[in-house]
C-alpha cells in the first residue's frame, strides 16, 4: 500500500531524535546531562494546577467552542494587547492546543501552493516542514554577526530573496535557537519589507515573556502591521507548562475565523478544563512566573560563564529564550571535524552530555562557514550544568 506523495515534503523536529538517543544512553545506565530539548524541569505554578483541579471537579469536562472559551479569549485579548501597547478583541483570538499548531493553520489560511515564504534558518524546524508540506516554497534567511558578540538578521539576504511570488514572512523575534533579539531598527526594517511587498506575517512570539532585562516589543504594534500579522502565542514557556498544550493565534478577524474553522475540523476544541485553568492566572499574573525567570537567569549565567571558559567556544549571554547557540568552529577545526553532529554524538557517547546542533534547525544554507551547537538550559539544574560544562571543557579542549 502506498502512502501519499506529499509526505516526501513533511519534515519534523529532529531534536526529538536526539531525545531518543539520550534516553537510549540513559537506559544503558548512564547519567545524561540534558541540554537537547526546550522542555522544562520546573513545575507549573501551583495556582494553575489548583485552577485546573477546580475546573475538573466543577465539571468543565465536555466540549467547548472550537474558537476557545469566551473567558480565556477575552483574558488573552486584554493581556496580549496590553503587553504590546495594542488593543485586541476576543474575536481576534483563537485558542489552540499549544503554540505549534498556529504555524500550520496560519499557512493553510494565507498561503497558496507555489507561494514563496520567507523563514528564519537556523530556526524552528516546523516552519520549513509546514511550508513545504503544504505546497509552498520555503525561502530561508539567516543571521550575521552583529559585531557585539551576538547575531542579527541578514537583512541583505532577506531583501534580495523577495520576488513577486513572496507572500508570507515568518519572523521569530526572541529567537529559537540563537536567543537573538531584534533591535528597534531591525524590527522596523522587517516591518517595512512586509509593508512594501504586501506580505502576511507570522510573528512567532513563543518567548515574548522569556526575556531577562529588556522590555518586549512586537512587530504587530508597528503602524500598518496589525492588519497583516498573526501572533503565535503560547502558555508553554511562560508558565512552565509545555505538556499541557495551550496556546493561541491572535490576529485580524478574517484569518482568525478561518483558523477557528480549521480547529473545528482538526481537534473540535482545545481541552476545556485546561482553558478554564488559565483565565485567572492570566488576569492576575501570579508572581510564580517571576520565580521561573529567576531560575532561568541563574542557569543562563552559569552556563554562559562556563562555556566562555572553554577554549574555542564563542558565546555571549542572550537576552531572551532559554537557548544558547555557541560558535564551536574553532573546536571543530582543532579536532579536524567536518560534521558538527560528530561533536554531538561523541559528547553523548563519551561524556554523557546531550545537545542539538545547527543541523536540527533547518537545512544548512550554502556558504555557511561557522559551526554551532544549541544548548537548552530549561531542563537542567545549576549543579548539573556545572558538571556538564566541565565535561564539555575536557572534551572540546582535548
Ligand atoms: N515557536 C518556537 C520558536 C518554539 O521554540 C516553540 C517550542 O519550542 C513553539 C513555537 C511551539 O511551542 P508549543 O510548545 O506551545 O507548541
| Bond before 122 cis per omega within 30 degrees | yes
Question: Is residue 395 within a helix (H) or strand (E), and if so which, with residue range?
Answer: helix 382-397
Q: How far apart are CA 272 and CA 275, in angstroms?
A: 5
Residue 161 makes CB contacts below 8 A (sequence gap 6+) with: 116, 118, 139, 141
Residues 174-184: what's their mean pLDDT? Answer: 95
pLDDT tens-digit map of 338-352? 999 999 999 999 999
Q: What is the DSSP letter of 351?
A: H
Please state, in angstroms and rounded to a whole number, the distance separating the CA atoms of residues 45 and 311.
39
Q: Quick: pLDDT tens for 97-128.
A: 999 999 999 999 999 999 999 999 999 999 99
327-338 confidence digits (pLDDT tens): 999 999 999 999
Q: CA angle, 307 as apex, 304 and 311 as ends, to 5°?
A: 145
Which of 94, 205, 236, 379 has most ligand 1 atoms within 8 Å of its beta carbon, as the pocket-test mutant?
236
- Exposed, middle or buried by CB within 10 Å (0-12, 13-18, 19+), for 353? buried
- Peptide bond just before 181 cis, omega within 30 deg: no
Model confidence at 367, pLDDT cuts 50, 70, 90, reads: confident
**387 has pLDDT over 80:** yes
User: Under a CB-based contact definition with an 8 Å cutoff, are residues 237 and 266 in contact?
Assistant: no
In this prediction, residues 8-31 reach a mean pLDDT of: 94
Is residue 305 pLDDT above 80, yes or no? yes
Pocket test of ligand 1: the residue of 99, 204, 239 to mutate, having most ligand atoms within 8 Å of its CB, is: 99
Nearest atom in ligand 1 to 242's CA? 14
Distance CA 308, CA 184 (A): 28
Q: Which residue's entry shows cell 504590546? A: 84
Asked if residue 124 has its Cβ within 6 Å of ligand 1, the reply is yes
Please count the residues of the chain.
398
* Residue entry with cell 522544562: 40
Which atom from ligand 1 is nearest to the alpha carbon of 100? Answer: 16
pLDDT for 289 beyond 90: no
Rounded distance from Cα 245 to ligand 1 centre (Å): 10
pTM of the prediction?
0.96
Alpha helix (H) ranges present in 111-152? 125-133
Is the Cα dihedral 55, 58, 63, 68 positive or negative?
Answer: negative
Residue 15: pLDDT band (50, 70, 90) is confident
Q: Which of 124, 171, 233, 361 to mutate to test the pocket of ligand 1 (most atoms within 8 A of CB)?
A: 124
Which pLDDT band holds residue 151 (cuts at 50, 70, 90)? confident
**Rounded distance between C-alpha atoms, residue 56 and residue 46, angstroms:** 15
CA separation for the pair 15, 35 (Å, rounded)? 10
Evaluate: CB of 206 within 6 angstroms of ligand 1: yes
Ligand 1 probe mutation, 206, 270, 322, 377, most atoms within 8 A of CB: 206
* Number of the ligand 1 atom closest to the C-alpha atom of 172: 3
Cβ of 98 below 6 Å from ligand 1: yes
The C-alpha cell that represents 353 in the structure block: 552530555
Nearest residue to 305 (alpha-carbon basis) of 398, 377, 216, 360: 377
First to last CA, the chain: 51
Q: Using a 6 Å cutoff on CB, does residue 204 contact ligand 1?
A: yes
Q: What is the pLDDT of residue 11?
A: 93
Q: Which of 75, 76, 67, 64 is nearest to 95 (CA)?
A: 67
Residue 127 CA to ligand 1 center (angstroms) comes to 11
Decide if 270 contacts 248 (C-beta within 8 A). no
Between the alpha carbon of residue 327 and those of residues 42, 111, 330, 340, 392, the distances in Å are 28, 35, 8, 11, 14
Contact 83, 285 (CB under 8 A): no
**Which class for 135: exposed (0-12), middle (13-18), buried (19 or more C-beta within 10 A)?**
middle
Q: What is the mean predicted confidence (pLDDT) over 242-249? A: 98
Which residues are CB-contacts of 43 (< 8 A; sequence separation ≥ 6)? Answer: 240
Ligand 1 centroid, distance to 99 Cα (angstroms): 6
Which DSSP state fits 158?
Answer: H
Atom 13 in ligand 1: residue holding the nearest Cα: 99
Mean pLDDT of 238-249: 96
Predicted confidence band of residue 208 (pLDDT cuts 50, 70, 90): very high
Average pLDDT, rounded, for the chain? 95
249 lines ligand 1 (CB under 6 A): no
- Atom of ligand 1 at shortest distance to CA of 103? 10
- pLDDT recorded at residue 286: 64
Provide the pLDDT confidence category of residue 290 given band limits of 50, 70 and 90.
Answer: confident
Amino acid at each position: 500500500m502506498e502512502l501519499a506523495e506529499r509526505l516526501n515534503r513533511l519534515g519534523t523536529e529532529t531534536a526529538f531524535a536526539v531525545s531518543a538517543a539520550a534516553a537510549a544512553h540513559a537506559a544503558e545506565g548512564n547519567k545524561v546531562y540534558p541540554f537537547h530539548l526546550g522542555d522544562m524541569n520546573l513545575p507549573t505554578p501551583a495556582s494553575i494546577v489548583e485552577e485546573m483541579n477546580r475546573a475538573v471537579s466543577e465539571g468543565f469536562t465536555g466540549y467547548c467552542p472550537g474558537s476557545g472559551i469566551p473567558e480565556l479569549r477575552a483574558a488573552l485579548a486584554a493581556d496580549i494587547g496590553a503587553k504590546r501597547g495594542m488593543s485586541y478583541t476576543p474575536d481576534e483570538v483563537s485558542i489552540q492546543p499549544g503554540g505549534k499548531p498556529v504555524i500550520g493553520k496560519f499557512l493553510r489560511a494565507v498561503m497558496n501552493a507555489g507561494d514563496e515564504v520567507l523563514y528564519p534558518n537556523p530556526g524552528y524546524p516546523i516552519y520549513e516542514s509546514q511550508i513545504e508540506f503544504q505546497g509552498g516554497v520555503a525561502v530561508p534567511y539567516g543571521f550575521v554577526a552583529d559585531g557585539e558578540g551576538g547575531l542579527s538578521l541578514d537583512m541583505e539576504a532577506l531583501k534580495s530573496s523577495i520576488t513577486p511570488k513572496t507572500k508570507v514572512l515568518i519572523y521569530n523575534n526572541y529567537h529559537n535557537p540563537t536567543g537573538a533579539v531584534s533591535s528597534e531598527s531591525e524590527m522596523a526594517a522587517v516591518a517595512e519589507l512586509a509593508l512594501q511587498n504586501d506580505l502576511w506575517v507570522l510573528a512567532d512570539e513563543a518567548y515574548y515573556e522569556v526575556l531577562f532585562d529588556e522590555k518586549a516589543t512586537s512587530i504587530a504594534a508597528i503602524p500598518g502591521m496589525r492588519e497583516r500579522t498573526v501572533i503565535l502565542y503560547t502558555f508553554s514557556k511562560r508558565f512552565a507548562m509545555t505538556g499541557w498544550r495551550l496556546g493561541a493565534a491572535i490576529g485580524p478577524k478574517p484569518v482568525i475565523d478561518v483558523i477557528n474553522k480549521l480547529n473545528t475540523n482538526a481537534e473540535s476544541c482545545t481541552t476545556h478544563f485546561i482553558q478554564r485553568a488559565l483565565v485567572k492566572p492570566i488576569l492576575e499574573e501570579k508572581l510564580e512566573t517571576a520565580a521561573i525567570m529567576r531560575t532561568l537567569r541563574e542557569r543562563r549565567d552559569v552556563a554562559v560563564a562556563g562555556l566562555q571558559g572553554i577554549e574555542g567556544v564563542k558565546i555571549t549571554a542572550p537576552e531572551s529564550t532559554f537557548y544558547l547557540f555557541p560558535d564551536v568552529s574553532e573546536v571543530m577545526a582543532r579536532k579536524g571535524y567536518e560534521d558538527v553532529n560528530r561533536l554531538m554524538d561523541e559528547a553523548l557517547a563519551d561524556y554523557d552530555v546531550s545537545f542539538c546542533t545547527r543541523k536540527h534547525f533547518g537545512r544548512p544554507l550554502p556558504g555557511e562557514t561557522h559551526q554551532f551547537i544549541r544548548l537548552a538550559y530549561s531542563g537542567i539544574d545549576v549543579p548539573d550544568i556545572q558538571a556538564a560544562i566541565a565535561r564539555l571543557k575536557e572534551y572540546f579542549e582535548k
